[in-house]
Amino acid sequence: MEKNELYPIFLKVHALNVTIIGGGWVGQEKLGFLLKSSPNAKVKMIAIAFNEEVKTLAAQHQVILVEKAYEASDLDGSQMIIAATNEEGVNIQIYHDAKSKNILVNVADNPPYCDFYMGGIVIKGNVKIAISTNGKSPTTAKRLRQFFEEVLPDDINKLVENLNTYRKTLKNDFESKVEQLNTLTEGLLKNKE
């Protein structure tokens, strides 16, 4: 059985320079997902043309739109690249250019040309759950996201904040703190009958 060997991380994209190349529907989708999770992300988009939805999203956030054809120098200063043009050859060139500059890259809908995937994300206040299908089925990730959005209570953020306040009152060593917090939260997993 194949195993998902991806390592999930949460990036502070407000502190990184993200470049999306492509201004059509796929670029819009990638920008939308990024901004939904991280509204203050630092994003520059490069495309020959931008659709109206991209322009609207850009105006609502601090997204820089650069209307021009892609060149390798467009990647300079970026830490993360998303290739989302309608041209597979251009996307693959972006991948190779990014790799030559040691920049993380995602080529939309082309898993062999991805250092990372943009999975499904559930957000409930400070709680954020990322879902990956190893690039195999974005539809499954979407359905799991919808499921978790329904089953996680909206007030889970209150629990997180209360536990954080309690954690700050603990004066013991790390292991003792973990043990006390585990004892306090183990009831979350017990089935209520």
Q: pLDDT tens string for the chain (193 positions)?
A: 889 898 989 999 999 999 999 999 999 999 999 999 999 999 999 999 999 999 999 999 999 999 999 999 999 999 999 999 999 999 999 999 999 999 999 999 898 999 998 888 999 999 999 999 887 888 898 999 999 999 999 889 898 898 888 888 888 788 887 888 888 787 766 654 4
pLDDT value at position 122?
93
Is 129 within the bounds of a domain? no
- Reduced to 3 DSSP states, what percent helix, strand and coil does the chain have, rounded to the nearest 5? 45, 15, 35
Phi/psi at 169 (nearest 5 deg)? -85, -15
In terms of domains, do 24 and 84 share one?
A: yes
In terms of domains, do 104 and 43 share one?
A: yes
Domain range spanning residue 21?
A: 13-118
For residue 122, how many other CB atoms are within 10 A of its CB? 19
- Interatomic CA distance for residues 61 and 152, integer angstroms: 28
pLDDT value at position 83?
98
Segment (H or E) for 130: strand 127-131
In terms of domains, do 101 and 180 share one?
A: no
Total number of domains constituting the chain: 2
Q: Assess contact for 129 and 122: CB atoms under 8 A.
A: yes
pLDDT value at position 170?
85
Which distant-in-sequence residues (6+ apart) come within 8 Å of 125 by Cβ? 156, 157, 158, 160, 161
